[in-house]
Amino acid sequence: MWRTSIMRSIGRINSTHGMETICSISKNVHKKLILHGVSEVLGVSGQEFKEKLYSALKSKPKINDLSEKLVENKASQLIASTTKVRSQLISERKSYLKSQCELEAKYTAEIKSLKFNIKTLKREATLTQKVSSADKIQILSLETKVRELEGKLDDLELDQVLHDSNVVEELIDEPAQINSSDPKKIDSLRLELEQIRDDLSLKKYEIECIEKGIESS
């Protein structure tokens, strides 16, 4: 059929239209050849190919609309995702700032408590040192008293020994010396010495406990 059309077109070359007719015929022939070649490749008739081509061209606006809708949907999804991520970041930042404030308040309270405890311990240490100094002075006084009493006791015991040996009158020169013949005074002196020794031991123990307490703290 298309061959017949070509032959008719060639027959028109001798008409009055001249070269215009030839160009028009050439264009039509070229289009028909293209359509025929495409039809053979696709395995469809020329009319069917035209219908498919028309349908494709007709659906192009729909495809464009669909593409625009897809782009809009994708943009909306990206905006929603960005908004969600931003909200999460803001929420996490608020939570972080809150935890930082709580942690700072906790550390501030602990530091304040430690400073108060340190101040209290320093005051107690100062008082303990003062008490310890007073106790040490008292210990020195007690030790001196012990030595004095031990000296007196030794003198009395010596006097008693000498008295028993009948040589007391020759060796006693000091008039203020206690009479060795009175055993009650010796016993009283011994009791006083024992009491002072007990007080001294107790005071030393107290100081030792205080010093150990300061070292452990």
Question: What's the mean pLDDT in 112-141?
Answer: 75
In-domain check, residue 158: yes
How far is residue 95's CA from residue 72's CA, in Å, rounded to a whole number?
34
Residue 130 has pLDDT above 50, yes or no: yes
> What 3-state class would DSSP assign to 1?
coil
163-204 pLDDT per residue, tens: 555 444 544 444 444 444 466 777 777 787 788 778 778 877
Query: Stretch 55-77: mean pLDDT, rounded?
Result: 75
Concatenating the DSSP letter of every residue in 72-85 gives HHHHHHHHHHHHHH
181 phi, psi to nearest 5 deg: -80, -5
Q: Tell me, yes or no, whether 79 lies in a domain.
A: no
What residues contact residue 142 under an 8 Å CB cut-off, 6+ apart?
A: 196, 199, 200, 203
Does 56 map to a domain?
Answer: no
pLDDT confidence bin for 69, thresholds 50/70/90: confident
Residue 195 domain-assigned (yes or no): yes
* Structural domain range at position 12: 1-43
Helix ranges (H only) for the chain are 2-11, 19-42, 46-164, 168-171, 183-216
Cα-based torsion angle of the residue sequence 159, 160, 161, 162 in order, rounded to the nearest 10 degrees = 50
Q: Is the confidence at residue 72, as pLDDT, over 80?
A: yes
Mean pLDDT, range 77-102, rounded to an integer: 88
The more confidently predicted of residues 58 and 112 is: 112
Q: Considering the chain, what percentage of its residues have pLDDT values greater than 70?
A: 51
0.75 exceeded by pTM: no
The pLDDT assigned to 10 comes to 47
Domain finish residue from 43, 58, 75: 43
Q: What is the rounded average pLDDT of the residues 36-45?
A: 50
- Total number of domains constituting the chain: 2
Is the residue at 50 inside a domain? no
Q: How does pLDDT run across 1-39, given as a tens digit for each residue?
A: 544 554 455 455 444 444 454 445 445 544 454 545 545
pLDDT at 80: 86
* Residue 89 covered by a domain: no
pLDDT for residue 164: 53
Per the listing, tokens 């729909």 go with 62
Question: Tokens in use for 100?
Answer: 């930082």
Share above pLDDT 90 across residues of the chain, in percent, rounded to a whole number: 0
146 lies in some domain: yes
Residue 173 or residue 211, greater confidence:
211
In a domain, 90, yes or no: no
